[in-house]
Structure 1
Amino acid sequence: MIGARAIKTLLGPKWTTWARTVTHGLERPVWGNLRRTSPISPSYGFERGTPIDRFYVDRFLSARRALITGRVLEIQTTDHIRRYGMDVAKADTLDINPAFNPTYCCDLARADIVPTGQYDCFLLPNTVCCVRDLDAALGHARRVVRPGGVILVTAPGFVPLTPDVTEYWLASAEGWRVIAGRVWPDCDVSIATHGNCLAALAAMHGIAVEELTAQELELTDPRYPVMVTIECRVPN
């Protein structure tokens, strides 16, 4: 009788794996046009529809419309304030790039020009991953929000890196819990993951939201965090 090692030597690794899948009734991949080393869309799916990560950003902020109220600060533009805000008294922006004409032109990690306790809500959509001095940035975010206010953060996980922007922090939910516990020890922080294996694959390939079903996108598998969302409530 030929031993397993001899069969493996005879067949080689590729055909040994094939034989193993057949013998054990294992599901075999049908690659189609996914067997490639470049993504289907190099621009995250913008030209096809809505990028996968935006589905989770939109769901997170849409569910918290009541918190995006009063005086609200957002990074770069007021797009999310205008889309999700309710009874917004004032909408301000912060960005390091003067081309966006922000209310405060500065690095969030050095945002001393922003008054303390000025805002009811601070929106940080897909921003914290790009801030080198993360602790200082999150410390300023906490400082500028009034007691009883809220900081809403979305942090990408399984998504392609942006070529023209340096991204430093792509942490798991547990990683963000460690960071939040360090920089916001007195706050009530809720952290959740969003996504699954299919959503992660779609995000990496630049497949659009419209090419998957809501059921496929809504299923959450914590092992494949396409997006991590953070809600930080500042104590009164």
Structure 2
Amino acid sequence: MKNLIKLIARRTLPAAYSWLATQRQDDRYPPSVGKVKFGSLRRVEPISQEFGFDRGDPVDRYYIENFLADYAEDIHGRVLEIKDNSYTQKFGGDRVVKSDVLDVIEGNLEATIIADLTCADQIPSDSFDCLVVTQTLQMIYDTKAALKTIHRILKPGGVVLATFPGISQINNDDDEYNGSWYWSFTSLSAQRLFEEVFPKSNVKVESYGNVLAAISFLQGLAVEELRREELDHRDRHYEVIITVRAVKSEVI
């Protein structure tokens, strides 16, 4: 009888423990193999292939806009943004004296400067107080050349606010206007790249995201479908967005 009780305990207790663990809303107790409920995510095509724009505000925009809001005071004086000046207007407001828009392709009616950041000799040095360069450098093959231009055209003491995709769907239309997606970055690679051009003490790199935010972004879910505490939790192993604030040295 004693042996029978032991046998029953060995067979039932682990299963019971596993079941109880899955009932707890605690990340320390993941569901056992075979017990994961995929629900709407069990699909080989994402819920949205438009980064979530067709569902609401994309997850990456939450992090990008929070970053720009944190450093809104940097967006002042003469400001250059890529393709349009929506963030300059939103976060710079009346601190902006002149707003310029750069595009590499002619035909953009919002562009005030047509130039390639890798060889923009027509843009005078020391021209801008701030550059807003969001989700751009992954589309430029010669990233190092572009960073040298960014540094050159900033005024002494000027600031570049840049963002890069980390874990992301790749938008690789390979057409003349949208360009090609060449690179994926990490906070470490971004740090190294900017420190080759800007003083190390003037470069601040941060990353945002976690596994839930990354999965949601890859599936094309929107910010409105996640809780704020889920979005704000940071896990450096799951970088959805990488941000850089870099300052050009003052003239001595």
Q: By the TM > 0.5 criterion, same fold?
A: yes
Uncovered stretches (5+) of structure 1, i.e. residues with no partner: 1-20
Q: What is the CA-CA distance between 1:133 and the residue it aligns to?
A: 0.7
Taking a change above 3 Å as real, the CA distance of residues 187 and 115 of structure 1, as seen in their structure-2 partners, is farther
CA distance in 1, matches of 2:17, 2:181: 42
Task: Output the CA distance in 1 between the equivalents of 2:17 and 2:222.
Answer: 35
Deviation at 1:171, TM superposition (A): 1.3
Rounded Cα–Cα distance in structure 1 between residues aligned with 2:143 and 2:49: 28
Q: Hey, what does 2:212 align to over in structure 1? A: 198
Task: Tell me the CA shift for residue 100 of structure 1.
Answer: 1.3
With the length of structure 2 as denominator, give the TM-score of the two structures. 0.82
- Give the aligned partner of residue 123 of structure 1: 132
2:107 counterpart (99, 104, 111):
99
Deviation at 1:84, TM superposition (A): 0.6
- Unpaired runs of 5+ residues, structure 2, are 1-13, 19-29, 174-178
CA RMSD across the alignment = 1.6
| Structure index of larger Rg | 2
C-alpha deviation, 1:24, in angstroms? 8.1
2:142 paired with 1:150: no
Q: Which amino acid aligns with 2:102?
A: L
Q: Does 1:78 align with 2:85?
A: yes
Distance 2:184 2:108 in 1: 25
Identity level (%): 35
Q: How does 1:1-236 map to 2 (within 5 A)?
A: 25=18, 27=31, 28-86=35-93, 87-101=95-109, 102-164=111-173, 165-185=179-199, 188-236=202-250
Partner of 2:10: none
**Contact 2:208-2:236 at 8 Å conserved across structures:** yes
Give aligned pairs, total.
Answer: 216
1:163 to partner: Cα distance = 3.1
2:172 aligned partner, one-letter code: P
Q: Take 1:163 and 1:37, find their aligned partners in 2: how far apart are those partners?
A: 19
Q: What secondary structure, in the 3-state scheme, does the structure 1 residue paired with 2:196 have?
A: helix
Q: Which amino acid aligns with 1:34?
A: L
Report Cα offsets for 1:5-50 as digits up to 9, x if no partner.
xxxxxxxxxxxxxxxx959835132101101110001111111100
- For 2:212 and 2:162, locate their aligned partners in 1 and report how far apart those are by CA, in whole Å: 23
Shift of 1:184: 2.5
CA distances 1:132-153 after superposition (whole Å, capped 9, x unpaired): 1100001000000011110000
Displacement of 1:183: 2.8
Which stretch of structure 1 is more off in the superposition, 72-81 or 21-30? Answer: 21-30
| Residues 70 and 94 of structure 1: CA distance in aligned 2, closer, same or farther (over 3 Å) | same
What do the CA deviations read for 1:198-230 (whole angstroms, capped 9, x no partner)? 000000000000010111001100000000000
Question: Aligned partners of 1:109, 1:24: CA distance in 2, in Å?
Answer: 60
Letter in 2 for 1:234: K
Whether contact under 8 Å (1:52, 1:203) holds in the other structure is yes
Which amino acid in the other structure matches residue 48 of structure 1?
R
Aligned to 1:91, the other structure's residue is in SS state strand
Partner of 2:190, secondary structure, is: helix
User: Conserved in 1, the CA contact under 8 Å of 2:172 and 2:181?
Assistant: no
1:95 and 1:108 in contact (8 A); partners too? no
Moved more, 21-30 or 190-199: 21-30
Give me the TM-score of the superposition, normalised by structure 1: 0.87
